[in-house]
Chain A
Amino acid sequence: MSRRTLVPLLLLLVVAMLPLAVNPFILNVFALSFAIAVLATSIDLTGGYSGLMSLGQAGIMASSAYGVGIAATRYGLGYPLQILAGLLAAIFVSLLFGVMIMRASGIQYLMVTLAQGMIVWGLSIRMYSLTGGENGIKGIERPPFLDGDIPFFYFSLGVLLLALLIKWLITRSPLGLALRGLKDSAVRLNMIGYNIAFLKFYSFVLSGALAGLAGIILVYYNRLISPPAAGFTMSGKGVLAVLLGGIGTLIGPVLGAVIITYVENFLSGYVARWPTILGLIFVLAVLFARTGIIGALEGITGRITRLVTGRERSST
Chain B
Amino acid sequence: MKWRSMRLATLLTLILAVAVLLASCAPAPAEEATTPPEEEPTAAEATADEEPTAAEDEGEQEMEEPTGPITIGLMAPYSGPLAAAAEDSNKGWDLFWQLRGSTEVAGREIEWVTGDTAMDPSTGITQATALVEQQSVDFIVGPFVTDVGMGVAEELGRRGIPQFIPILSDDNVTMREKENLPYTVRIAGWNASQNNLPYGQWVYDQGFEQLSTIGYDLQFSYEHCGSFLASYVAAGGEVLTQTWHPITTEDFSPFIAQLQQSNPPAVLVCNSGLASIRFANQWAEFGLMESIPLFATETVTDQSNLRSMEDSAVGIISSGHFAEGRDAPATQEFVNAYLEEYGELPSYFSAANYTAAGWLVDAIEDVDGDISDKDAFIAAVRAIELEESALGPMELDENDHPIQDIYVREVQVRDDGLLWNAVIDTFEDVGQFWTFDPEEYMDQPLYSRDYQGF
Contact = CB atoms under 8 A, between A and B. Distances in A.
B147 A134 contact: yes
Given A138-B154, A224-B147, A228-B120, A271 B22 contact: yes
Contacts of A218: 122
B120 A23 contact: no
Given A138-B154, A224-B151, A226-B121, A272 B22 contact: no
Contacts of A149: 129
Interface stretch (A113-121, A197-205, A260-268): A260-268
Nearest to B18: A280
Nearest to A223: B154
Interface string B120-153: 1111011101111111000000000011001100
Given A25-B134, A128-B449, A138 B151 contact: yes
B378 interface: no
B147 A272 contact: no
A279 to B, nearest CB: 11
Determine the interface band of chain B, counting residues with CB < 8 A from chain A.
Answer: 35 or more
Nearest to B8: A288
Contact of A226 (B25, B33, B118, B147): B147
Given A128-B448, A134-B146, A280-B18, A23 B133 contact: yes
Contacts of B29: 272
A35 B4 CA distance: 37
Interface stretch (B64-72, B109-117, B264-272): B109-117
Contact of B30 (A35, A233, A264, A272): A272
B219 A128 contact: yes
B218 interface: yes
Interface string A1-36: 000000000000000000000011110110010010
B255 to A, nearest CB: 18
Nearest to A280: B18
A135 B146 contact: yes
A136 B150 CA distance: 10
B123 A274 contact: no
A134 B220 contact: yes
A271 B11 CA distance: 22
Contacts of B132: 25
A125 B132 CA distance: 31
Given A28-B129, A29-B126, A228-B147, A222 B449 contact: no
A133 B145 CA distance: 13
B131 to A, nearest CB: 8
Nearest to B130: A25
B357 interface: no
A273 interface: yes
Nearest to A147: B158
Contacts of A288: 7, 11
A264 B120 CA distance: 11
Interface string B147-170: 100110011000000000000001
A55 B430 CA distance: 48
A227 B33 CA distance: 31
B127 A265 contact: yes
Interface of A: 23-26, 28-29, 32, 35, 125-126, 128-129, 133-136, 138-139, 149, 218, 221-224, 226-229, 233, 264-266, 268-277, 280, 284, 288, 303
Q: Which 3 A-B pairs have the closest CB atoms?
A: A226-B147, A25-B133, A133-B219
Interface of B: 4, 7, 11, 14-15, 18, 22, 25-27, 29-30, 33-34, 78-79, 113-116, 118-123, 125-127, 129-135, 146-147, 150-151, 154-155, 170, 172, 180, 217-220, 222, 448-450
Given A222-B151, A228-B119, 9 more contacts: A25-B132, A32-B122, A128-B219, A133-B219, A139-B180, A149-B129, A264-B118, A264-B123, A269-B134
